[in-house]
């Protein structure tokens, strides 16, 4: 295993993950849709924001704790749902959940995880959120809602930006499909990743435990959508969200909102929050970078509901910038995923340590003593 003590940035973890994983799997995690414009712009939007730090403030100690969706978090961050990740590291969902619990932040379990809703709750616990993919079989998705409720998950994030699967072109070029099976097109790459290969031989290729019993649609010859992507309910609408709100007794968020009027409608239906997200650049290429969509959403509903930001977070200072632009917190997808891919649970913890230490330093350098003091006055005029 790599020496995680030598890792100083999320990019270091990304490079360790790249070296360890077969290309097809790394690209599935790392890539975006079509020309990957939105994927790049999610990151570039953070790089365009400039700060005006305050000086001569006593920042010998800063407080990064926040109330996030009704509970305390060690920093304004939760781990985002990421599907299919145990193909890259056996037990990756459990590793991320354990790292989140130890660090004191929420963890979101993806619908297509390798471990069941119940097992993650029983074996790990902590602040657990569940991400619901609205599949076409209504009865099946309502069973998922009931299972998450019975298992004690405190929040549900309904992914609403996925009526159909995005066109991620790295996957067919690499011969990648989910569930992942090595084939002649990627066998050479697999052979030259012995650490990953030995782990797969030992543990086997993961399935999607929460989909046991589901009748998957057969792919067409030219279909590049993942198995789950083919099952999305393109008819999902606001009436369906009303039904989910009736079924789910706890905190409910819509993930994939970029328009303020959609956020306002979510608030009117009784949702507790929205995640400003474009699915990490993996669906509609050309969608606005989430950091640029954030301020209008935050102005519209930020005083009434929780507003989280997803996409492009790679540095602790990104969390500060998102807060300054109106977010209550961020979701980290790839940042913590790279940690888990590089080093399992210790790697995921290292990713969180890096983000926390960078946020703390950024707060001190900006002259703010608590997360609550981070506001728009820190932003340089554009």
**Is 328 tagged catalytic?**
no
- For residue 72, what are the β-bridge partners? 67
The number of CA neighbours under 13 Å toward the Cβ of 119 is: 11
Residue 50 falls within a domain, yes or no? yes
H or E segment at 13? Answer: helix 10-20
Give the predicted TM-score (pTM) of the model.
Answer: 0.94
Give strand ranges (E) for 52-125: 66-68, 71-73, 77-79, 107-109
Beta-bridge partner residues of 108: 129
Sequence-distant (≥ 6) Cβ neighbours of residue 320 within 8 angstroms: 51, 359, 362, 363, 366, 374, 378
Full pLDDT tens readout for the chain, 382 residues? 568 888 999 999 999 999 999 999 999 999 999 999 999 999 999 999 999 999 999 999 999 999 999 999 999 999 999 998 999 999 999 999 999 999 999 999 999 999 999 999 999 999 999 999 999 999 999 999 999 999 999 999 999 999 998 999 998 888 877 666 666 566 677 888 888 888 888 988 888 999 988 888 766 555 555 777 788 899 999 999 999 999 999 999 999 999 999 999 999 999 999 999 999 999 999 999 999 999 999 999 999 999 999 999 999 999 999 999 999 999 999 999 999 999 999 999 999 999 999 999 999 999 999 999 999 999 999 8
What's the domain count of the chain? 1
Helix (H) / strand (E) element for 133: namely: strand 128-133
Residue 382 lies in a domain: no
Sign of CA dihedral 217, 223, 229, 230: negative
What domain range includes position 195? Answer: 4-377
379 touches 49 (CB < 8 A): yes
Instruction: Please report, for the domain that includes residue 192, its CATH number.
Output: 3.20.20.70
Determine, yes or no, domain membership for 67. Answer: yes
Element (H, E) at 324: helix 316-324
Query: Among 138, 203, 220, 279, which one carries the catalytic annotation?
Result: 279
């Amino acid at each position: 295993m790599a020496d995680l003590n030598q890792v100083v940035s999320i990019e270091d973890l990304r490079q360790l993950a790249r070296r360890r994983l077969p290309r097809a799997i790394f690209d599935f995690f790392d890539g975006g849709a079509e020309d990957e414009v939105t994927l790049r712009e999610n990151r570039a939007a953070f790089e365009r924001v400039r700060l005006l730090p305050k000086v001569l403030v006593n920042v010998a100690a800063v407080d990064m704790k926040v109330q996030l969706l009704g509970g305390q978090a060690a920093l304004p961050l939760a781990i985002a749902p990421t599907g299919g990740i145990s193909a890259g590291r056996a037990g990756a969902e459990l590793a991320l959940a354990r790292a989140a619990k130890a660090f004191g932040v929420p963890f979101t379990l993806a619908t297509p995880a390798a471990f069941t809703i119940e097992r993650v709750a029983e074996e790990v616990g902590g602040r657990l959120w569940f991400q619901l993919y609205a599949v076409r079989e209504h009865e099946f998705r309502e069973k998922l809602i009931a299972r998450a409720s019975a298992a004690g998950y405190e929040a549900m994030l309904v992914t609403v930006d996925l009526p159909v699967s995005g066109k991620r072109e790295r996957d067919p070029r690499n011969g990648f499909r989910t569930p992942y099976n090595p084939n002649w097109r990627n066998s050479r790459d697999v052979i030259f990743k012995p650490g990953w290969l030995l782990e797969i031989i030992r543990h086997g290729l993961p399935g999607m435990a929460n989909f046991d019993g589901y009748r998957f649609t057969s792919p067409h010859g030219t279909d590049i959508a993942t198995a789950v992507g083919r099952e999305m309910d393109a008819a999902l609408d606001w009436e369906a969200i009303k039904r989910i709100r009736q079924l789910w007794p706890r905190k409910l968020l819509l993930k994939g909102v970029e328009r303020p009027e959609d956020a306002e409608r979510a608030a009117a239906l009784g949702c507790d929050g929205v995640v400003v997200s474009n699915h990490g650049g993996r669906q509609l290429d050309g969608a606005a970078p989430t950091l640029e969509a954030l301020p209008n959403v935050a102005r519209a509903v930020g005083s009434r509901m929780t507003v989280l930001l997803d996409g492009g977070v790679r540095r602790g200072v990104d969390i500060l910038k998102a807060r300054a632009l109106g977010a209550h917190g961020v979701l980290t997808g790839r940042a913590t995923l790279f940690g888990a891919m590089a080093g399992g649970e210790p790697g995921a913890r290292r990713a969180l340590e890096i983000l926390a230490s960078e946020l703390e330093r950024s707060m001190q350098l900006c002259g703010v003593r608590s997360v609550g003091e981070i506001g728009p006055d820190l932003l340089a005029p554009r």
